[in-house]
Amino acid sequence: MKKLLQGMMFGVAIAALSSTASAETKVQLVEVITSPQRTEFLRKELDEFEKANPDIKVEIVSLPWGQAFEKFLSMVQAGETPDVVEMPERWMGLYANNGQLEDLGPFMKDWAELGTLGDRAKQFGSTVKNTQYMLPYGYYARAMFWNKKLFAEAGLSEAPKTMEEFTSAAQKIAGLGNGKYGYCLRGGPGAFGGIQMFMNIMDGKPGFFNEDGTSTFNEEGSVKALQMLQDMYKNGWVPKDSVSWGFNEIVTGFYTGTCAMLDQDPDALIGIAEKMKAEDFAVAPMPTGPNGKSYPTLGYAGWSMFADSPAKKEAWKVIEFLSNNKQNLEWAKVVGVLPIHNGADQDAFFKTEQFKGWFEELSNPDKYVFVTPPTHLENLGVFYDSMVPTGFQEILLSKRAPKEVADEWATFLTAEQKKWMEKNK
């Protein structure tokens, strides 16, 4: 009898251990804006999460940013959807409009830190169907980095305040020779943020569309901006190989002193501050256009949950943890974004001289009008990551005229916007 009881107890213990093992839930998270530093820090944060939640294990799948759009789309089409994805704003319309993303609103209602969440995070995460399909983790606002030493060599003492001063400075600095150029142009992956900004500034209009849904991208000012960039390339004011440059190349071009100006987000500051002395460069607001205003782009990314996730409760726990004030503030410092919680700008890290340009733009909304992408458009990712790099490179290499490419872009965007307007009458 004693042996029978011992056997039964042993069996119960084995069953309990088996039950505990099977109770562990795996959450798969796909990151798409990747770098070794970001992945390492994300893993560190998730290790901390797992210690606090030993019943949840988080697997990170890292996709190389240059091919992330196509690779992630292939994953989804193959039915390999993750529980959580790092969602660039321009992809949101594609997946949300197809019913593939979960509404985070019901989860957020009981979030302990909802009270400090900035209104922009709620606004920008809900641009599709007025539904919180994404919880942003920070904002990428454009401003102008400038190399003080190269400017001084060219007889210049301050950053350009207007587009006319911008092109003039680029010409003078390129005139120094010895492999020095005026501007770090981005012609490869992710180029459209800068292209669109120059088009808006020269056209004197923020955004992508007129009220009737027609795109502004083939209007006279927009085409002038494309012509300006083509001329800068042809005249040798930017490096010749910048036709294929992506983020890493333009940042390297700036901190090595190859080119004197770079329009970028705070994430570029990370690499630049490591390689340059603080007194050798500064960050100024974007130059203004003919109407005296500037239209810096404001991009963002965040965390989204797929609607078919079998572990929604656990997936939200991951998003909630990564989005809490403490974790978000540290994440913002590492990846170079402006944080999502109110009061974060009072942190000592963001009070430095190098953040002046961005906060000057933020504090003067009449002069600096931030432009966000039309994330409601289903095919915005296709436009940004496929159509634009090809067309822009053809402009730079003088294979096609700026007006021809601008007409092509405007035709595509107008059709997308009118299709959306028809659906949402």
CATH number for the domain harbouring residue 251? 3.40.190.10
| Residues in contact with 269: Cβ distance below 8 Å, sequence separation at least 6, in sequence order | 283, 336, 354, 355
34 with 62: CB under 8 angstroms? Answer: yes
For the entire predicted model, the pTM comes to 0.74
Residue 360 lies in a domain: yes
One-letter amino acid of 33 = I
Contacting residues for 290 by C-beta, under 8 A, at least 6 apart: 163, 202, 204, 221
Residue pLDDT, tens place only, 318-377: 999 999 999 999 999 998 888 899 888 788 888 777 788 887 887 788 999 999 888 889
β pairing state of 281-284 and 259-264: unpaired
Greater confidence, 91 or 2? 91
Q: Are residues 165 and 253 in the same domain?
A: yes
Find where tokens 């923020």 sit. Answer: 206
Do 312 and 349 have their domain in common? yes
* Ramachandran angles phi, psi of 197, nearest 5°: -60, -45
4 pLDDT higher than 50: no
Tokens at 24, concatenated: 């562990």
The reply to whether 193 and 216 lie within a common domain is yes
* Domain around 24: 17-140+299-353
| pLDDT attached to residue 120 | 83
Higher-scoring residue by pLDDT: 223, 361: 223
Report which residue type is found at 311: A
**Are 36 and 126 members of one domain?**
yes
Per-residue confidence (pLDDT) for residue 1, from 0 to 100: 46
Residues 307 and 413 in one domain: no
Q: How many alpha carbons fall within 13 Å on the CB side of residue 365?
A: 0
In a domain, 3, yes or no: no
> Do 166 and 133 fall into the same domain?
no
> What is the b/e burial string over 345-369, where b = at least 16 CB atoms within 10 angstroms of the residue's CB?
eeeeebeeebbebbbebbeeeeebb
- Across the chain, which distance is largest between two alpha carbons, in Å? 98
What does the pLDDT read at residue 190? 87
Q: Which of 261, 299, 295 is nearest to 150 (CA)?
A: 261
How far apart, in whole angstroms, are the C-alpha atoms of residue 226 and residue 77? 35
- The CA distances from residue 173 to 5, 150, 170, 284, in Å, are 88, 7, 5, 18
Q: Please check whether residue 348 lies inside any domain of the structure.
A: yes
Same domain, 133 and 208: no
> Domain for residue 89, yes or no?
yes
The conformation of residue 383, written as its DSSP 8-state character, comes to I
342 assigned to some structural domain: yes
Shared domain for 346 and 412, answered yes or no, is no
**Domain annotation covers residue 12:** no
SS3 135: strand
Same domain membership, residue 317 and residue 276: no
Number of domain units in the chain? 2
Average pLDDT for 164-181: 97
Q: How far apart are the first and last CA of the chain?
A: 77
DSSP 387: I
Q: Is 6 part of a structural domain of the chain?
A: no
244 shares its domain with 383:
yes
Determine which of 97-106, 261-270, 322-331, 346-355 has the lowest per-residue pLDDT on average: 346-355
Cα separation of 323 and 331, whole Å? 9
Q: Is residue 95 located within the same domain as residue 195?
A: no
Beta bridge partners of 300: 139
Any domain includes 359: yes
Residue with tokens 């797992």: 50
Q: Are residues 74 and 112 in the same domain?
A: yes
Q: Cβ(297)–Cβ(201) under 8 Å?
A: no
Q: What is the tens place of the pLDDT at every residue in 377-417?
A: 989 888 988 899 999 999 999 999 999 999 999 999 999 99
